Amino acid sequence: MFKTVAYTTMIDDLGKAMDTADRVPIGTRRIHNTLITDDDPADSVSVMTAMAKSSNVGLCSKVWQHYGDRQQYYVGEFKKRFPFEKLNVGLKAPNVAATMVPVKYEVDFLHINYGYAVSCTPLHIATFYAALGNGGRMMKPQFCQEIITRKGRKTIEPEVLRDSICSPRTAKIMMDMLANVVEQGTGNNIKGTPYGIAGKTGTSYIDIDSRYFNATFAGLFPAKSPKYACVVTVMGVWGMHGRQFAPVVKEVADCVMATHPDGKVMTIPAALYDTSDHGRPQMPKTATARQEKLMRAYDLMGLRYLTTDSNARWVTGVQTDVSTYQPIHIKPTAVPDCTGMTAREALVLLHSAGYKGIPAGYGRVTAQTPAAGTAAQRGTEVKLKLENRK
């Protein structure tokens, strides 16, 4: 998460002296006297690639190159970009400020760049990322647009926290870097949407001696002209799984982008068209899902939806020259087939049939135990294996 803050600080402060094509080392090594770890093997890559790989070493080497001899100046510039203050949003929840450890030592100076000397809420993160999507203008989070009483209406006007945390040029460069994270880097498990998502994965220790982490993904969409920011944080995750929750942001983005507030619907992606077939739209990949959702998706894309039972709650696709769906008949004493479903869809289906789903992994269901059709008592646990297959 905070690598984005660090790169924003350097690019905005250094101007043309900082280029995303500059080469930096990656792979675990010492930066001056401090050992910085990386998941990637030793190599030399561009700043753009180092960001996509979420390299601690690539970032810290650049920070040390330009600010190793003026650390307090850099810390001051860093604090100008991120909303460390209390956000005062008026919710019945703790109103806390983001904090940074006093930077007295070299190790702290390097650690702040990837967030290991900083504490904040997901709302602070969302506020910062929204500012990048807003060309550098930081707005106060707003949960109420209008108050309506018997005496009338009161509009709550948007409030600017900072007119500019960076120049529009810097914001544009950072949006390009975040889009590259999704298309080429640690967030590539959600790449290829028709509208585009720009974002950043993040993991942080709960305890330095623990293998449990807080995992976060911050996303902005549409990538080329952001209108929305979405941050998902999952607490207490075993192992480092920052990218695991990027699909949650994608699901939110898909729902938001399906129908724009101005009434315009999402256009059919160009990939659905086959020019060898006179430009006729090809049917989307069929899947097992709730029929009402499929019907809505087809309607939004202007495609014809065919079903053998319009009253069925659950349907599965029939592989023919057109997409036709047939009902899934749930037997009262048999485990239903969850293959191809998302975790949410599978859990709902199993619950409706009287079973308890236990998902593992991310993506769609590729295997289940007990197998589909197995006779089992109500309340039986069904283990689901999820994978993100192309």
**What is the Cβ-side half-sphere exposure of residue 5, based on CA atoms within 13 angstroms?**
27
Cα 87–Cα 91–Cα 95 angle in degrees, nearest 5: 45
39 neighbors 23 (Cβ within 8 angstroms): no
What residue spans of 68-156 are helical by DSSP H? 71-81, 106-111, 122-133
Model pLDDT, residue 260: 58
Rounded-to-integer distance, Cα 180 and Cα 26, Å: 17
Model pLDDT, residue 343: 84
The residues, ordered by sequence, that sit 6+ positions from 231 with a Cβ below 8 Å of its Cβ are 122, 123, 125, 126, 129, 216, 217, 218, 219, 249
250 neighbors 217 (Cβ within 8 angstroms): no
* pLDDT tens track for 278-322: 555 555 555 667 778 777 777 766 677 777 777 777 777 665 555
Q: Which CATH class is domain 2-184?
A: alpha beta
Q: Does the bond joining 222 to the residue before it have cis omega, within 30 degrees of 0?
A: yes
379 neighbors 355 (Cβ within 8 angstroms): yes
The residue ranges of the chain whose pLDDT is under 50 are: 262-263, 265, 271, 273-277
For the chain, what is the radius of gyration of the CA atoms?
24
Please name the residue that has the structure tokens 């065919």: 306
Q: What is the DSSP letter of 46?
A: E
- List the structure tokens of 1: 């998460």
Among the listed residues 87, 94, 93, 25, the one whose alpha carbon sits nearest the alpha carbon of residue 61: 25
Per-domain boundaries in the chain: 2-184, 270-327, 343-387
Residues in the chain: 390
Model pLDDT, residue 121: 92
Total-model pTM: 0.71
Model pLDDT, residue 262: 47
Model pLDDT, residue 265: 46
Measured CA distances, 76 to 107, 258, 373 (Å): 17, 41, 63
- List the structure tokens of 185: 């880097």
Rounded-to-integer distance, Cα 186 and Cα 53, Å: 6
Model pLDDT, residue 331: 74
Model pLDDT, residue 288: 67
Model pLDDT, residue 323: 59
Model pLDDT, residue 274: 45
* pLDDT tens track for 170-226: 999 999 999 999 999 999 999 988 889 999 998 887 766 667 788 899 999 999 999
E strand residue ranges, the chain:
23-26, 29-31, 34-36, 43-46, 99-100, 118-119, 138-139, 146-149, 152-155, 160-162, 198-205, 212-221, 228-238, 289-290, 306-307, 314-319, 323-327, 356-361, 364-369, 381-387
Distance from chain centroid for Cα 309 = 36
Rounded-to-integer distance, Cα 152 and Cα 272, Å: 49
Q: Residue 216: how many CB atoms within 10 A of its CB? A: 24
